[in-house]
Structure 1
């Protein structure tokens, strides 16, 4: 039609070139008719061209929408991959074998790599919606490559797991045949998973480091927010940072809460060559104190890639992932639930008793699969009583034999199973026996002045003496339970689980609530209800503990009820759990994971920011995992996780070092002197802090921290130097710490101002644990942040 119109136009021009002199009227008529025909052709041509333009415009719009839809599908799949990594698992599944299979919906694949379809409206209301088909193809079958971030890159030198994924997306009109696609796109992304425990400090929000005493940070430092640095002393006794510093926003040399500034030389940061440069002069080019941010150009000139500003905010796990529905709870080898609402149950041999906690053990294989076992009431009741340790456990130094005054001839007159009878007597008590009672003589029981210890001993004596004749009773009467245990070559250790409840009755009624001067309610210290877990006792109980049978008169071994023990390792430190065969052989998640939470039915409600609950870790100087030896190349270690407050008491991971971490809503550190004679956490004073002693803690920390000048935390939050919450007067004593501080944001259970606390700060010998630079030394289920980087992108058009 278009060619015909052009032909008419040429004919008209030809007629205009001829002008016969004869018959002018006929010529004029012919000319008019020719013009009409020509104009009609032009109108038709215009209409056709206009229609073609409209169709072309709509086609362009649809094509553009197709491209945008396909690109949107790519971005959606990238974000889905990010979320998978943040949930502490790796993407998995199968991909469609071809694009046609995805379009035809004949083979969708499975899991995170399967074909997905997204629908969006067409720009032309009369045209069907546009569908975007997408799927993911992992390189190397999805197996990540262990590597190191190259020099000059953000987070240079850190260990990483790197994976590559090719994401394909194609768009087509809804209802179109598979070969009628609009656009095809492909993106290749590189995922770097970097453990957060490779940082001396890693903060999701603003990070403040303003120490009063000297502080040397040897590892990398990162914050998604602003970084505020300062110190009260001049170099070399101020603040020194020797690792790479990455900052999401700006870098300052002043306090955040009151804008106090610091002179030049208080803070020094090493450049790539290791030379320490003063923050103020290096960041501003001068020495005038200022509240202004450091100049990016000056920072780059002074430190290069060693200090990077404006780094993209990193996606990291949140505190909520520590809860019951999170991956840590799902992958844990032992789950503890503090359930103070539990009522009395009848246990054979014990009677009616309240056991306010539950324990579930899951023995997992190397891939994490396993069968869970919920401990029975008799087993739970055993966990709350002192444990009689013998043999290898005594050799490990968990307790010291006390000896007795009996002669060999007198001992020979006693029943051979006396120690088992003593075990039954202790396990038969309706309420927990105080550990200190094991050092009280039966002859010291005063029926007119019963206390917790003598009341417990009365019940034990009644059962024990019921199996002895008069002469045997006479021999036993001046002895303590610990001296009777010594007759079998053993000694008592405190209960694996103890609980501190201000509403408790019986032996545990006196002074067992813990007053927390940091978490205050309306200005008043918060009274905490704490479940205490003795890691050392738990390890011994798993190896040689006992509980009552269904008749309540016999004993059943608890050996390996919680975890399977490893073969004794003669290459491990002498008399360590690992050396003696008490340690766990678990390699799932590269080691043991313990998770602790509070029953949702507890009153008061544990799921508020005024939660009065928490967990206490004692007996942690030696952990039940495996360290590296010549017989064991890959250490395992222990990760303890809770969505409530955690209190680490005494030396932790100081014997037979192994990868360790504590993840909690908030983190508290106390010395061993805070334990009473029953190895329970002492009630704190409202006005004065007890004296502490030198303490060493070797473990990574992940917890929530308060935010300066926030609604919930007006004023200063304490800074990195107060990341662990203190409750003692350290009085010149030293807290030695080797690990990594990670803050994931505001606590969800234990928010509280850093002000009016009753404590004296320790001398801080704090350093990043460089052993974490080796990936095999990272704790089990180490949290990682995800750094996704686009490597390639292509767009194709196929009509």
Structure 2
């Protein structure tokens, strides 16, 4: 069988050879030209076939190469986009005045391994999807995570020379952001094959960034929108100036002593002039004219707090130490006088050893405690014995007493007559002093203390607030009657006709002179109510004793406002030695609003701090008070024509710690007041034992020292200047008086529209009096983060029922250049800087 198969194979080979020979012989035997053509044709055929094969192979290689290039490029851009998105997310956290938190994944592979934590919070793994560009191309994804540098601790320092805002205080945080890009089809294939996830990245990128948090109050003026400066009188600005939009500058501005930066691309003269100043003219028209040391136009916009950061959902409400909510009853209601128009929550955040409270809890004041805050406060022996002084201010701008009081007046109140009765009211001067002086020292002490206890009891029993001037009237407090058969009269008073006290006014009873425990003669007196409801809901509501008419609101036609007046001095006194009536018992209000630091002999004598009355709170660098009204219950408060607001009076001395203090090791604290409504700041502010201070509000109004009537309230009718509520015809109190303020402002400002000027920086504070060149002396910082949300009356110009301009003695407070002197919870802007960008090719 094997031999036969072999023979058959040989025969087959021979047959093939025969066929080849026959084919060649046929070619050779045909016409020679035809044969050559055929050979050439076949050769060309084979050559073309080879070229087709080569082209096909080359095309395949090119296609694969192009696909790889597209994948690489798409992956790179996808990873870069993911880096930028993650960087923006981190930056937005800083813009909200908070710090990123969480833990980073243990490694890159943790993002793809379900058995390992992929991190938490702001640092965890996060994947972004990107389209492939068409339906036939695979999509892409980029997985990112964040690493914090320096253990998440910010570096405190100054912005380096050459950078925008060089020299300003900052806290700088560093982060590394990692991004790995993948082709979706590759990921799916690995999942099907059970291969390691996270491998096969087509792009691996790393971005190192720095986020700088720079306090806003380090600028003489800082505007989110267009900044317009056109003062009618000579004006100099000391300190940096920034606008996140365009700058309009001119008028009688003389000099800007600080760097000027704009995120807008243009600088203009007046806003009604559409053509901006040419950059080629900046040197002569801007830098030289206003003596600007540095001008930078068109820088990157700065990251600012969100518009609602002052709303009750924002940071200032959350972190406040005292929250006061205005809850006014309608002035046409029968219960208007009796209803308590506010609620108060207090949150203790600092312990006696100056360490944080681990779990702060909000505590609400009781009705009895709140009721007490509406009545005058009988000041104790120690405070009442502090004599007044003739404080003054220097006119030399270089003097330390230019904006700080020289020989500050730390007196709490003034007794209505001297201890020797020399200036007592004539009607009783002839009879009462001789009777009182016939008593022994102990009898005087017993009589005075008995009378004072009854006095306080009757004040606290009053269901409606007493007017301060009622304390100057005999019978000014209903039910304040003394008889010899009263319970608890001391036996030592047997020789004294108690009924003679009935001839005295409440203020005269408070001033009864008697020896204290040390034998020193003391008298007492009243401080005004810490909180007072001001205003009416409509002009025909005549029941409220006090009114505030804002002529600027309602398209300059005016509007009656409802304001809750907060007396800073009285509030601090009440927190130290106030009394409230709990049922039938008088109880102390000591430290109900805030815990106090020990008496400090490093502070100025007789100041709150020296007497142990200052707040010990050091959380967020000091005391924060938040003022609001519930827009759900008071719908007008939520719109842009809110009739509500808050007035701050008698803030000459604040309840914080000054720069020389023992409790916080010379790091001052101070006070920040924040509100989502309008604030009216009256009189000298923060001029005694100066501290870091700020007021943040929807809009900001300034009233002079004159706008404080004998009832110790602000009171204003439908006219320029404030009025006297003790007069039947509400006589005008007269033109403004010189007023000095040391405080940073953040508030909304108008926009210039339709040719109507917004008043410019020179009219940042809204005025309501005839200043007519009287000095308004101010040291601080003007910050505007937009237009007012709730109280937005347009600038009306001067004259009429509105105001006449002051002598604006305004300047930046250079003490803010030291970070420790910045107010509590100072808002900050965020500036992100890319430090490095790295592409890795190894995984």
Out of 529, 538, 541, the position equivalent to 1:495 is 529
Q: CA deviation at 1:614?
A: 0.7
* Contact map agreement 2:472 2:506 (CA 8 A) in 1: yes
Q: Output the CA distance in 2 between the equivalents of 1:100 and 1:737.
A: 58
Gap change, CA 1:462 and 1:434, over 3 Å in 2: farther
Q: CA deviation at 1:401?
A: 2.6
Q: Map Cα deviations across residues 615-639 of structure 1 (whole Å, 9 max, x no partner).
A: 0001100001101116332101111
Out of 142, 148, 170, the position equivalent to 2:158 is 148
Q: Does 2:66 align with 1:57? A: yes
Out of 344, 348, 361, the position equivalent to 1:359 is 344
Q: Could you say which residue in structure 2 is the equivalent of 1:295?
A: 280
Out of 546, 566, 569, the position equivalent to 1:536 is 569
Q: Could you say which residue in structure 2 is the equivalent of 1:121?
A: 131
Q: Could you say which residue in structure 1 is the equivalent of 2:14?
A: none
Gap change, CA 1:555 and 1:293, over 3 Å in 2: farther
Gap change, CA 1:189 and 1:343, over 3 Å in 2: same
Q: Does 2:224 align with 1:183? A: no
Q: Could you say which residue in structure 1 is the equivalent of 2:251?
A: 231
Uncovered stretches (5+) of structure 2, i.e. residues with no partner: 1-23, 191-196, 387-409, 422-432, 515-522, 723-733
Q: Does 2:367 align with 1:377? A: yes
* Contact map agreement 1:229 1:253 (CA 8 A) in 2: yes
Gap change, CA 1:20 and 1:343, over 3 Å in 2: farther
Q: Could you say which residue in structure 1 is the equivalent of 2:500?
A: 475
* Contact map agreement 1:344 1:354 (CA 8 A) in 2: no
* Contact map agreement 2:332 2:543 (CA 8 A) in 1: no
Q: Could you say which residue in structure 2 is the equivalent of 1:400?
A: 414
Q: CA deviation at 1:476?
A: 1.6
Q: Output the CA distance in 1 between the equivalents of 2:542 and 2:564.
A: 13
* Contact map agreement 1:62 1:123 (CA 8 A) in 2: no
Q: Does 2:99 align with 1:85? A: no
Q: Output the CA distance in 1 between the equivalents of 2:91 and 2:120.
A: 18
Aligned length: 722
Q: Could you say which residue in structure 2 is the equivalent of 1:6?
A: none
Q: CA deviation at 1:683?
A: 1.7
Residues 699-778 of structure 1 aligned to structure 2 (within 5 Å): 699-709=743-753, 715-757=756-798, 758-778=802-822
Q: Could you say which residue in structure 2 is the equivalent of 1:447?
A: none
* Contact map agreement 2:580 2:588 (CA 8 A) in 1: yes
Q: Could you say which residue in structure 2 is the equivalent of 1:448?
A: none
Gap change, CA 1:32 and 1:422, over 3 Å in 2: same
Q: Output the CA distance in 2 between the equivalents of 1:20 and 1:384.
A: 131
Q: Output the CA distance in 2 between the equivalents of 1:490 and 1:415.
A: 10
Q: CA deviation at 1:152?
A: 2.8
Higher mean alpha-carbon deviation, 116-125 vs 462-471, is at 462-471
Q: Output the CA distance in 2 between the equivalents of 1:240 and 1:358.
A: 47
SS at match of 2:123: coil
SS at match of 1:772: helix
Gap change, CA 1:413 and 1:157, over 3 Å in 2: closer
Q: Output the CA distance in 2 between the equivalents of 1:647 and 1:38.
A: 96
Q: Does 2:294 align with 1:306? A: yes
Higher mean alpha-carbon deviation, 648-657 vs 730-739, is at 730-739
Q: Output the CA distance in 1 between the equivalents of 2:213 and 2:276.
A: 35
SS at match of 2:580: strand
Q: Could you say which residue in structure 2 is the equivalent of 1:636?
A: 669
* Contact map agreement 1:591 1:779 (CA 8 A) in 2: yes
Residues 365-764 of structure 1 aligned to structure 2 (within 5 Å): 365=350, 370-394=360-384, 395=386, 396-403=410-417, 405=433, 406-407=436-437, 408-409=439-440, 411=444, 414=447, 416-442=449-475, 454=476, 457-461=477-481, 467=487, 473-487=498-512, 489-503=523-537, 509-519=543-553, 521-549=554-582, 552-603=583-634, 605-629=636-660, 631=662, 632-686=665-719, 690-709=734-753, 715-757=756-798, 758-764=802-808
* Contact map agreement 1:170 1:182 (CA 8 A) in 2: yes
Q: Output the CA distance in 2 between the equivalents of 1:352 and 1:697.
A: 33
SS at match of 2:225: coil
Out of 232, 237, 242, the position equivalent to 2:257 is 242
Out of 183, 199, 219, the position equivalent to 2:239 is 219
Q: CA deviation at 1:681?
A: 0.7
Q: Could you say which residue in structure 2 is the equivalent of 1:281?
A: none
Q: Output the CA distance in 1 between the equivalents of 2:530 and 2:287.
A: 56
* Contact map agreement 2:537 2:561 (CA 8 A) in 1: no
Q: Output the CA distance in 1 between the equivalents of 2:448 and 2:781.
A: 54
Q: CA deviation at 1:219?
A: 0.8
Q: Output the CA distance in 2 between the equivalents of 1:203 and 1:77.
A: 27
Q: Could you say which residue in structure 1 is the equivalent of 2:75?
A: 66
Q: Could you say which residue in structure 2 is the equivalent of 1:3?
A: none
Higher mean alpha-carbon deviation, 162-171 vs 33-42, is at 33-42
Q: Map Cα deviations across residues 525-558 of structure 1 (whole Å, 9 max, x no partner).
A: 1111101111111111111112222xx1002222
Q: Output the CA distance in 2 between the equivalents of 1:388 and 1:664.
A: 32
Q: CA deviation at 1:192?
A: 1.6
* Contact map agreement 1:513 1:683 (CA 8 A) in 2: yes
Q: Map Cα deviations across residues 73-102 of structure 1 (whole Å, 9 max, x no partner).
A: 111111112211111112222211211112
Gap change, CA 1:178 and 1:381, over 3 Å in 2: same
Structure whose CA Rg is larger? 2
Gap change, CA 1:367 and 1:69, over 3 Å in 2: farther
* Contact map agreement 1:617 1:646 (CA 8 A) in 2: yes
Q: Output the CA distance in 1 between the equivalents of 2:607 and 2:834.
A: 48
Q: CA deviation at 1:140?
A: 0.7
Q: Output the CA distance in 2 between the equivalents of 1:603 and 1:486.
A: 43
Q: Map Cα deviations across residues 397-450 of structure 1 (whole Å, 9 max, x no partner).
A: 1112335743334636638444233222211211111122222223xxxxxxxx
Q: Output the CA distance in 1 between the equivalents of 2:41 and 2:629.
A: 98
Q: CA deviation at 1:341?
A: 4.9
Q: Output the CA distance in 1 between the equivalents of 2:456 and 2:640.
A: 42
Q: Map Cα deviations across residues 10-68 of structure 1 (whole Å, 9 max, x no partner).
A: xxxxxxxxx99995889998887776566555444433433443333333323222212
TM, length-normalised to structure 1: 0.84
SS at match of 1:431: coil
* Contact map agreement 2:482 2:498 (CA 8 A) in 1: no
SS at match of 1:484: helix
SS at match of 1:50: helix
Gap change, CA 1:32 and 1:224, over 3 Å in 2: same
Q: CA deviation at 1:127?
A: 6.0
Q: Output the CA distance in 2 between the equivalents of 1:244 and 1:655.
A: 31
* Contact map agreement 1:182 1:798 (CA 8 A) in 2: no
Gap change, CA 1:293 and 1:27, over 3 Å in 2: closer
Q: Does 2:244 align with 1:200? A: no
Q: CA deviation at 1:120?
A: 2.4
Gap change, CA 1:429 and 1:185, over 3 Å in 2: same
RMSD: 3.3
Higher mean alpha-carbon deviation, 594-603 vs 491-500, is at 594-603
SS at match of 2:762: helix
